[in-house]
Amino acid sequence: MSAAPLLEAQSVGKRFGAVVAAAELNVRLAAGERVSLIGSNGAGKTTFVNMITGYLKPDAGHIRFEGRDITSLSPRRIVQLGVARSFQIPQLFGELSVLDNMLVANACHDQHLSLWQGARRGEAIARAEQLLQRFSLADHRARRVVELPGGVRKLLDIAMALTVRPKLLLLDEPTSGVSAEEKFPMMDTIMAALGSERDTTVLFVEHDMDIVARYAQRVIAFYSGRIIADDVPERALAADDVRRYVTGELLQE
Amino acid sequence: MRLVFAALGAFVLLAVAGWLAPKWLTFLVTMAAGNGLVSLGIVALMRGGVVPFGQGMVFAVGGYTAALLFNKAGFTDALGLVLCGGVMATLVAAPFAPLLARYRGIFFAMLTLALSMVVYGALMKLDVLGGSDGFNVGRASLLGWRLPDALTGYVLYLLTVGVAITMALLARVLFDSTRGLVTLAARDNELRVEYLGGSVRRAMAINFLIAAFCGGTGGALVVLSLGHIEPQFSYWTTSGEFVFVAILAGWQSVAAVFVASTVLEVVRSFSSSYFPNTWQLALGLFLLFVIRFLPRGIGSLWVGKGRT
């Protein structure tokens, strides 16, 4: 962490009326890290992700990406700089096919949208299908999104985020709404797909501590908009505050 | 390439059919193709999820541009007048495009309606433009050729059909392009388009300008065939008819726009002949029938459900 961080949040604050969603948050993420953001409902995890991606503007503090202040930039500009995200409820194009969803992501990434260059040209399709293969979605390529089960939608949501070749990928609860048996295979698929993007920093919001322990290199725990732990999973998950406010283990004892 | 051959084939077929058909029918198809161009622009916007209720504005701007260039500047070339009509309509629409690109749903519809009614009000009051009566336009030439009486209707029919087919071809290319696909995606989920790095507002603004060009060329073509222009071109009922055709056609097929426009002209012609005071009733019933049994428009008859 001594090198210049990829992302740096400095004294970031956000309130919604009387509710403090973020209080003096200081977070630094290095290139290539796999970080999990944990916390109970309302702890401020998604608010933090929304502030990084420009959906919400902080009331105080600054967010820098590769040294550049992105606090007041639009989501679109932030994506263009290299920050992509997936959503807790997958944000897809329901009436389009899986392949067309990927082609839209491809086209948006090119930024200079053409009025005459075909969206379904060979190279774009090849690139889209390569990513679909990595996410085990190739069999669904022709299906419309509205016909897909929840887990497949989650994977597609993440695959689309990866199309823009992000330096920082934010995954908001990638396994929520997925059955317990499907969670690990799904995370295996995601991590395997991310395997060739070693320089991509991944910050994922997660509620399942088994998932966190297995896939994160570092854990940041939130409670009432504050960071109560920031360490490797073994130590972070064993911290008293995390056991009391996040996992609830101390309350049960 | 397949599209170009299909377009050429359609043009040849319509040229032969127009030569054999009675004059009233070629005139009806000329009107349908000219008006269909305006609806084609509406379809380009509908694919992004917005419906303008004021395309009469660009229709009128295109028509008045062609008519004024003809009468005041002595520029009589039909093809040039049509291009000038399209360009002027685009220029008039351009300052409003960034503003309108911010709005959706009823707000977009009402703002476009308001603009068209402002133009209508101005045209009604401007005596220099003929006021509420409008003014007549003479017979156009084509590429230096003064059209003889007997052939004027047919040549204008060919020109209108040719322009319509060319624009339909270009529209198909646009709809299948990267920008076209992103427009379709924005209709579904604007937030996601932005989070993939695409600009929804830019897409909407460009679509608005494309629709304006289509409307302007349509207006110019209709004026040349009618030989007359009046403020009614910008009135809200005229805009409503263009929307009617666009809904009838659906947003999947460009050919469907011209089929729907022809259907409207046929229904209008026959119902106004047989029951002149209640022809709108026939039109309304027909639209209800289409919405009930073809909710995705006439185009869904030959375009598959998953196709875009």
Residues paired with residue A227 on neighbouring β-strands, in sequence order: A222
State the Cα–Cα distance between residues B257 and B250, nearest whole angstrom. Answer: 8
pLDDT the model gives residue A228: 94
Average pLDDT over residues A220-242: 93
Q: Which residue of A has its CA nearest to B201?
A: A76
Residues paired with residue B228 on neighbouring β-strands, in sequence order: B136
- Whether A86 and chain B come into contact, CB under 8 Å, resolves to no
Q: Is the pLDDT of residue A111 over 60?
A: yes
Q: Choose, out of B4, B169, B189, B196, the residue to mutate when testing the contact with A (most A CBs < 10 Å).
A: B196
| Inside any domain, residue B56 | yes
Q: Is the pLDDT of residue B305 over 60?
A: no
CA B151 from centroid of its chain's CA atoms: 25
3-state percent helix, strand, coil for chain A, nearest multiple of 5: 40, 25, 35
Contacts of B192 in chain A (CB under 8 A): 91-93, 160
**Using one digit for the tens of pLDDT, what is the confidence trace for B158-171?**
999 999 999 999 99
The alpha carbon of residue B170 is apart from the nearest alpha carbon of chain A, in Å, by: 8
Mean pLDDT of chain B: 92
Q: Is domain A1-82+167-253 in CATH 3.40.50.300, yes or no? A: yes
Q: Counting every residue, how long is chain B?
A: 308
Q: Is the pLDDT of residue B293 over 80?
A: yes
State the Cα–Cα distance between residues B232 and B216, nearest whole angstrom. Answer: 15
Lowest mean pLDDT among A95-99, A175-179, B56-60, B94-98: A175-179
Classify A37 as helix, strand or coil.
strand
> Directed axis angle between helix B178-188 and helix B200-226, to 10°?
110
- Whether A125 and chain B come into contact, CB under 8 Å, resolves to no
Average pLDDT over residues B270-294: 83
Tell me if A94 and B189 make a contact (CB, 8 A cut-off). Answer: yes
Q: What are B277's two structure tokens?
A: 């005071």
Cβ atoms of residues B122 and B64 within 8 Å:
no
Residues 6+ apart with CB under 8 A from A220: A27, A35, A36, A37, A38, A227, A229, A230, A236
Tell me if A76 and B198 make a contact (CB, 8 A cut-off). Answer: yes
> What is the full DSSP assignment across A97-147?
BHHHHHHHHHHHHH-S--SSSBTT-HHHHHHHHHHHHHTT-GGGTTSBGGG
- Provide, rounded to the nearest whole percent, the portion of chain B with pLDDT above 70: 98
pLDDT the model gives residue B238: 93
Lowest mean pLDDT among A18-27, A161-170, B139-148, B231-240: B139-148
Average pLDDT over residues B133-161: 88
Q: Is the pLDDT of residue A204 over 60?
A: yes
The alpha carbon of residue B176 is apart from the nearest alpha carbon of chain A, in Å, by: 6
pLDDT the model gives residue B51: 95
pLDDT the model gives residue A112: 64
Classify B297 as helix, strand or coil.
coil
Residues 6+ apart with CB under 8 A from A71: A57, A58, A61, A62, A63
A33 Rama class: left (phi>0) / alpha (psi -120 to 50) / beta: beta
State the Cα–Cα distance between residues A107 and A56, nearest whole angstrom. Answer: 25
Q: Which of A91, A108, A163 sits opposite B182 (nearest CB)?
A: A108
| Inside any domain, residue B76 | yes
Backbone dihedral angles phi then psi of residue A7, each to the nearest 5 degrees: -130, 135
Q: Are strands A34-39 and A201-205 parallel, antiparallel or unpaired?
A: parallel
pLDDT the model gives residue B274: 84
Contacts of A118 in chain B (CB under 8 A): 176-178
Contacts of A124 in chain B (CB under 8 A): 178
Q: Which of B173, B182, B308 sits opposite A113 (nearest CB)?
A: B182
Q: Is the pLDDT of residue A251 over 70?
A: no
State the Cα–Cα distance between residues A43 and A246, nearest whole angstrom. Answer: 9
Q: Which residue of B has its CA nearest to A159?
A: B196
Q: Which residue of B has its CA nearest to A100?
A: B181
Q: Which of B184, B196, B306 sits opposite A79 (nearest CB)?
A: B196
State the Cα–Cα distance between residues B221 and B34, nearest whole angstrom. Answer: 6
State the Cα–Cα distance between residues B159 and B152, nearest whole angstrom. Answer: 10
| Inside any domain, residue B134 | yes
pLDDT the model gives residue A2: 54
Q: Domain map of chain A by residue range?
A: 1-82+167-253, 93-164
Average pLDDT over residues B69-94: 95
Q: What are B228's two structure tokens?
A: 């007359």
Backbone dihedral angles phi then psi of residue A163, each to the nearest 5 degrees: -60, -35
**Using one digit for the tens of pLDDT, what is the confidence trace for A124-164?**
899 899 999 999 999 999 999 999 998 999 999 999 999 98
Contacts of A144 in chain B (CB under 8 A): 306
Tell me if B177 and A116 make a contact (CB, 8 A cut-off). Answer: yes
| Inside any domain, residue B308 | no
Q: Is the pLDDT of residue B142 over 90?
A: no
Could you write out the three-class secondary structure of B166-219?
HHHHHHHHHHCEHHHHHHHHHHHCHHHHHCCCCCHHHHHHHHHHHHHHHHHHHH
| Inside any domain, residue B307 | no
B297 Rama class: left (phi>0) / alpha (psi -120 to 50) / beta: left
Q: Is the pLDDT of residue B234 over 60?
A: yes
Q: Which of B173, B174, B198 sits opposite A108 (nearest CB)?
A: B198
Cβ atoms of residues B296 and A95 within 8 Å:
no
pLDDT the model gives residue A66: 95
pLDDT the model gives residue B308: 56
Tell me if B178 and A110 make a contact (CB, 8 A cut-off). Answer: yes
The alpha carbon of residue B203 is apart from the nearest alpha carbon of chain A, in Å, by: 9
pLDDT the model gives residue A98: 96
Q: What's the pTM?
A: 0.89
Q: What are A33's two structure tokens?
A: 């890290």
Cβ atoms of residues B233 and B59 within 8 Å:
yes
End-to-end CA distance of chain B: 19
- Whether A114 and chain B come into contact, CB under 8 Å, resolves to yes
Contacts of A116 in chain B (CB under 8 A): 173-174, 177
End-to-end CA distance of chain A: 36
Average pLDDT over residues B42-47: 96
| Inside any domain, residue B264 | yes
Q: Choose, out of A74, A77, A103, A104, the residue to mutate when testing the contact with B (most B CBs < 10 Å).
A: A104
| Inside any domain, residue B306 | no
Number of domains composing chain B: 1
Q: What are A198's two structure tokens?
A: 């070693």
Q: Are strands B135-136 and B141-142 parallel, antiparallel or unpaired?
A: unpaired
- Whether A123 and chain B come into contact, CB under 8 Å, resolves to no
The alpha carbon of residue A201 is apart from the nearest alpha carbon of chain B, in Å, by: 17
pLDDT the model gives residue A253: 52
State the Cα–Cα distance between residues B214 and B205, nearest whole angstrom. Answer: 14
Q: Is the pLDDT of residue A1 over 60?
A: no
Long-range contacts of B97-101 (CB under 8 A, 24+ apart): B97/B205, B97/B206, B97/B208, B97/B209, B98/B201, B98/B205, B100/B204, B100/B205, B100/B208, B101/B200, B101/B201, B101/B202, B101/B204, B101/B205, B101/B208
Q: Choose, out of B102, B175, B181, the residue to mutate when testing the contact with A (most A CBs < 10 Å).
A: B181
Residues 6+ apart with CB under 8 A from A41: none
Q: Which residue of B has its CA nearest to A147?
A: B306
Tell me if A76 and B194 make a contact (CB, 8 A cut-off). Answer: yes
pLDDT the model gives residue B299: 87
CB-defined contacts A:B, below 8 A? 108
Cα dihedral sign for B264, B268, B269, B274?
Answer: positive
Q: Which of A96, A120, A142 sits opposite B176 (nearest CB)?
A: A120
| Inside any domain, residue B111 | yes
Tell me if B184 and A118 make a contact (CB, 8 A cut-off). Answer: no
- Provide, rounded to the nearest whole percent, the portion of chain A with pLDDT above 70: 96
The alpha carbon of residue A63 is apart from the nearest alpha carbon of chain B, in Å, by: 18
Confidence of residue A23 (pLDDT cuts 50, 70, 90): very high
Residues 6+ apart with CB under 8 A from B43: B171, B246, B249, B251, B254, B257
Tell me if A79 and B197 make a contact (CB, 8 A cut-off). Answer: yes
Tell me if B198 and A84 make a contact (CB, 8 A cut-off). Answer: no
pLDDT the model gives residue A122: 82
Tell me if B185 and A96 make a contact (CB, 8 A cut-off). Answer: yes
Lowest mean pLDDT among A37-51, A156-170, B267-281: B267-281
* Burial bucket for residue A86 (CB in 10 Å: 0-12, 13-18, 19+): buried
Q: Which domain holds residue B11?
A: 2-301
Confidence of residue A8 (pLDDT cuts 50, 70, 90): very high
Average pLDDT over residues A188-200: 83
Confidence of residue B115 (pLDDT cuts 50, 70, 90): very high
Q: Is the pLDDT of residue B72 over 60?
A: yes
